[in-house]
């Protein structure tokens, strides 16, 4: 255990006398003095078996605290830690060869609301649905232990421990194992830019945080100041654990623009090197996917010798694609959507670049933003595109999904535009059937001042963005229940039709090579009122976003056109496409 500034460290053995309050007690017979290790700042002591493997650390006579590298927090993040043997799990995925990001289809889910049970075991029972849908990689929102039972997970404080209500470490290993046996890769969302405000005891152990940098969520992690060598080791060891001990195929790195690091080798480059080393050791590819607000292609540009080139991550979320699609489908233009009004944004992100802001002026930011993408060095598959994500749904005032403001036909058009693009697509749980349930923001904090701060802060933020809808109470368990998917909807209309449409589109990604192989900049998009015509090589998508029917005469092209898929009654006769309101057709030319 690392505690460089402590002079007397003890490990307190056994369960706390009062688990309800997380007190480890002061019984001297349960305390064992720790000795300095050879590694500076580290302390060691043998921990004999106890009735349930519980322990905590006490520094210089202070209160017992959980292990910063705890693998289990059975009674919550304020209570004692528990011993876990990660090597005890018997893996059954020896035949798993992995899934690269190139060619992948991601599916983001939150374990607490993906099923009514809210556990890894229950989510495992739904993996066959994802296989049938055409998904190749499950993207789990954070599982690192966080306060209370319910939450999004981005306020995690025990980064090595799997949240106990989800099932703990063994349940995550079993989930990954089950996914691999079905041909599904698993990506995990990890947060290294900050820790949550409740149960965060890291600063008592060492200089894990710095006041040299700030994040919107609190103190920044100390990646470049005094003592940061061990902090970086903490981050890298955490990533190694997920990739090796849990057999995870990818990590999604939250808000990397808030990873403040002024060293010559940025922590992201170190993480990318680690992932490559593990892939080489195991023969199974490992991917790192960044969430970044910078619109900087260097995040995923290949690394070069001597630190030249980019950071070398596998991929990054491209929010501009989401914004352009959202505005085109919904007409919503407040807040950060303002710059994406008009046909230029949609045409640009679907046929030229994943970044609408590639150095252009952002009115939302009041400055220039981003820089151009070289598609030769950073091909489109390195950019993860979406119509909905946990951020874009859950951070709306009432957690309403895009499909809640669209007709089924409009939602089908949105799915077609996303899933015929050469980017790496990602669906948000329930999107494939137009789930009727919202997905809202919820917490389970016990500190009244923290609860009130979250309530008032979110209300103020929504008001600034022009949203006037009532904000659900994050602490109300009904908010969690309202956000749980209703799996009975799959067999009901119009959900069943939308689900079948998503399956068809994902199948076409494999059957029509031009969708992915046609150079992005050689594609074209025209828009005449509400009628869109998108061309990628020999494939054309024709859609009618308007309420009035339309007839479109397509340019003559070599080969024989045939209808690959249609939704909403669109029909083709010769070179003419008849489009009812909110309908779409995908055409392919042979020859």
Active-site residue set = 254, 291
Q: Who's near 491: CB < 8 A, 6+ residues apart?
A: none
User: Which tokens go with 304?
Assistant: 């070069």
Assign 114 to helix, strand or coil.
Answer: helix
Round to whole Å and give the CA distance between 124 and 60. 45
How many residues does this entry show for the chain? 591
Distances (CA, A) of 124 to 170, 341, 402, 500: 13, 41, 27, 22
Residues facing 365 on adjacent strands: none
H/E segment holding residue 415: helix 408-419
Round to whole Å and give the CA distance between 430 and 322. 17
Round to whole Å and give the CA distance between 192 and 206. 16
User: Which tokens go with 76?
Assistant: 């919550």
What sections of 168-297 are H helices per DSSP? 168-181, 202-205, 228-244, 267-282
Round to whole Å and give the CA distance between 387 and 399. 14
Do residues 234 and 171 lie in contact, with contact meaning Cβ atoms separated by under 8 Å?
no
DSSP-assigned letters across all residues of 79-108: S-EE---GGGS----TT-----STT--EEE
Cα pseudo-dihedral 229, 230, 231, 236, rounded to 10: 90
H/E segment holding residue 124: helix 120-124
Q: Tally Cβ neighbours within 10 Å of residue 26.
A: 13
Do residues 533 and 565 lie in contact, with contact meaning Cβ atoms separated by under 8 Å?
no
Do residues 138 and 177 lie in contact, with contact meaning Cβ atoms separated by under 8 Å?
no
| Sign of the C-alpha dihedral computed for residues 293, 195, 444 and 433 taken in this order | positive
Q: Tally Cβ neighbours within 10 Å of residue 115.
A: 20
Round to whole Å and give the CA distance between 9 and 43. 7
Round to whole Å and give the CA distance between 380 and 374. 10
User: Which tokens go with 193?
Assistant: 């830019």
Q: Tally Cβ neighbours within 10 Å of residue 199.
A: 25
Do the strands 315-317 and 383-386 form a parallel or antiparallel pair, or are they unpaired? parallel
For residue 445, give the nearest of 453, 433, 437 by alpha carbon. 453
DSSP-assigned letters across all residues of 335-395: GGGGGG-SHHHHHHHHHT-S-S-SSSEETTTTEE------TTTS-GGGEEEES--HHHHHT
For 282-333, the three-class secondary structure string (H helix, E strand, C coil) is HCCCCEEEECCCCCCHHHCCCECHHHCECCCCCEEECHHHHHHHHHHHHCCC
């Amino acid at each position: 255990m690392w505690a460089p500034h402590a002079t007397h460290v003890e490990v307190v053995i056994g369960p706390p006398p009062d688990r309800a309050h997380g007190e480890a007690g002061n019984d001297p017979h349960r305390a064992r003095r720790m000795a300095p290790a050879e590694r500076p700042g580290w302390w060691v002591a043998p921990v004999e078996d106890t009735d349930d493997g519980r322990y905590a650390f006490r520094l210089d006579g202070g209160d017992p605290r959980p292990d910063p590298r705890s693998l289990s927090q059975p009674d919550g993040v304020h209570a004692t830690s528990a011993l876990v043997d990660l090597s005890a799990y018997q893996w059954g995925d020896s035949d798993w060869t992995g899934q690269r990001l190139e060619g992948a289809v991601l599916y983001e889910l939150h374990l607490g609301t993906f099923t009514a049970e809210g556990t890894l075991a229950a989510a495992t029972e739904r993996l066959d649905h994802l296989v049938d849908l055409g998904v190749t990689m499950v993207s789990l929102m954070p599982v690192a232990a966080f306060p209370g039972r319910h939450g999004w997970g981005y306020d995690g404080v025990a980064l090595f421990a799997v949240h106990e209500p989800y099932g703990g470490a063994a349940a995550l290993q079993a989930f990954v194992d089950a996914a691999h046996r079905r041909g599904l890769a698993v990506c995990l969302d990890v947060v290294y830019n900050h820790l949550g405000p409740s149960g965060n005891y890291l600063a008592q152990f060492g200089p894990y945080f710095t006041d040299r940098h700030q994040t919107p969520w609190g103190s920044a992690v100390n990646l470049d100041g005094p003592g940061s060598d061990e902090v970086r080791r903490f981050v890298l060891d955490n990533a190694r654990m997920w990739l090796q001990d849990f057999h995870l195929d990818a990590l999604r790195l939250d808000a990397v623009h808030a990873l403040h690091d002024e060293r010559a080798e940025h922590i992201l480059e170190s993480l990318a090197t680690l992932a490559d080393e593990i892939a080489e050791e195991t023969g199974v590819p490992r991917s790192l996917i960044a969430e970044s607000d910078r619109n900087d292609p260097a995040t995923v540009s290949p690394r070069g010798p001597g630190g030249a080139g980019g950071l070398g991550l596998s991929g990054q979320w491209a929010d501009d694609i989401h914004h352009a699609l959202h505005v085109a489908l919904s007409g919503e233009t407040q807040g950060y959507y303002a710059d994406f009004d008009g046909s230029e944004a949609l045409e640009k992100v679907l046929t030229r670049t994943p970044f609408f802001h590639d150095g252009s002026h952002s009115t939302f930011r009041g400055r220039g933003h981003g820089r151009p993408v070289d598609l030769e060095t950073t091909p489109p598959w390195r950019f993860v595109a979406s119509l909905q994500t946990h951020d874009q749904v859950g951070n709306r005032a009432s957690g309403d999904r895009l499909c809640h403001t669209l007709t089924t036909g409009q939602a089908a058009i949105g799915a077609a535009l996303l899933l015929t693009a050469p980017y790496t697509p990602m669906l948000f749980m329930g999107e494939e059937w137009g789930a009727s349930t919202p997905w809202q923001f919820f917490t389970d904090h016990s500190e009244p001042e923290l609860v009130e701060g979250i309530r008032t802060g979110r209300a103020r933020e929504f008001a600034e963005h022009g949203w006037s809808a009532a904000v659900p109470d994050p602490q109300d368990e009904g908010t969690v229940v309202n956000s749980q998917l209703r799996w009975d909807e799959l067999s009901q209309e119009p959900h069943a039709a939308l689900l079948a449409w998503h399956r068809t589109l994902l199948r076409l990604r494999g059957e029509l090579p031009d969708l992915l192989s046609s150079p992005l900049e050689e594609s074209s998009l025209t828009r005449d009122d509400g009628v869109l015509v998108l061309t990628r090589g020999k494939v054309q998508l024709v859609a009618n976003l308007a309420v009035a029917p339309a007839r479109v005469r397509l340019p003559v092209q070599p080969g024989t056109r045939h209808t690959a898929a249609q939704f909403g009654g669109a029909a083709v006769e010769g070179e003419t496409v008849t489009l009812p309101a909110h309908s779409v057709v995908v055409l392919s030319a042979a020859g």
